[in-house]
Amino acid sequence: MNILERAALTALHRIDPERAHDLSLSALRANLVPLAGPVTSARLRTTLAGLTLPNPVGLAAGYDKNAVALPALMRAGFGFIEVGAATPRPQPGNPQPRLFRLAEDRAAINRFGFNNDGAATICARLAMRPRGAVPVGLNLGANKDSADRAADFAAVLAACGPHVDFATVNVSSPNTERLRDLQGKQALAALLAGVMDVQAGLAVPVPVFLKIAPDLADDDLAEIAEVALASGIAGIVATNTTLSREGLRSPHACEAGGLSGAPLFERSTRVLARLSHLTEGRLPLIGVGGIASAEQAYAKIRAGASAVQLYTAMVYEGIGLGARIARGLDSLLERDGFATVAEATGTGRGDWL
């Protein structure tokens, strides 16, 4: 991290977390943030569900919810970017305060509740984004007061599908009441069938991923793997935030919402490895949860991930973290004699089972 980035983080940590988040996006939009530019190599170039990535280190959904800073983010060294979640209609989300830094735990708790500008506005911004080597996807959500939440996911894909490179069905946020119920076998199968019907009708069908929670029992994971393999989706994102509060030291530990950051790393990586075992490599997996270093990104890949995403660690390490992790991952792959990310994927899965 350079001196300017460290100074900016110090200043942002002195103000309310959600205000700091918004200011960081404003700074990116105003081109006030030094950016790493493209990070790639023969080892890092990755194919994920038909997408060509310059490197396998992506930006997770939740940072740029409304797709307002894409031109800058596409120059920040990430291999792919996910915006959203977007819901069919705009919604304000839950009351503030709803974002908390847990500095002692290198973590965060949020209970945003899918606050966003709505699919129409977000789609318009996606349509205007620069096209380039960095794929951009959209996290699909459902309105809190929707009479048919399953239909909401399909509706957002129908509206925005022509303007994205991939989409992610998010049934795993803990901040919309009963949303996680859609991870049940029958409900999930029906929801994905509706989404995949829309996907098939797009002029250019895009890969569809499913994002799951880290708090699932082994039997639940087995059912999700079965449904995912039967549905025709492109892969699984493992995982979203957790409801667990085990081992936290921060005074904010009792706040309601989803916990992300360092405490999630082991839990999410074990879920990832279990899914890799259950799907036997037939579905690409994206590893998310607690990644703050190249070594941790490498551990996710060796546990079964074809690519990874990060977000919370940037609260403590800055926007340049993605590029630094990608460069470090390149060195780790070279050290261990892997010519590609795919060669390393799953080679350490047994360590997490």
Answer yes or no: is 239 a known binding residue: yes
Dihedral sign (CA 325, 67, 36, 206): positive
180 annotated as a binding-site residue: no
Dihedral over Cα of 172, 16, 21, 115: its sign: positive
CB neighbour class for 328 (10 Å; exposed up to 12, middle 13-18, buried from 19): middle
Is 132 annotated as belonging to a binding site? no
> Does the annotation flag 298 for ligand binding?
no
173 catalytic residue (yes or no):
yes
To the question of whether residue 87 is assigned a binding role by annotation, the answer is no
**Candidate list 172, 173, 231, 260, residue with the active-site label:** 173
Tell whether residue 114 is among the known ligand binding residues: yes
CA atoms of 151 and 147, how far apart (whole Å)? 9
β-strand partners of 212: 238
Q: 261 labelled as ligand-binding?
A: yes
Is 47 labelled a binding residue?
A: no
Q: Which two tokens stand for residue 190?
A: 């029906």
Q: Number of helices (H) and strands (E) in the chain: give both, helices first.
A: 12, 13
| CA-wise closest residue to 273 among 341, 174, 265 | 265
Q: Tell me: is residue 258 an annotated ligand-binding position.
A: no
Catalytic residues: 173
Binding residues: 61-65, 85, 110-114, 139, 170, 175, 211, 239-241, 261, 290, 311-312
Binding residues for substrate: 65, 110-114, 170, 175, 240-241
Binding residues for FMN: 61-65, 85, 139, 170, 211, 239, 261, 290, 311-312
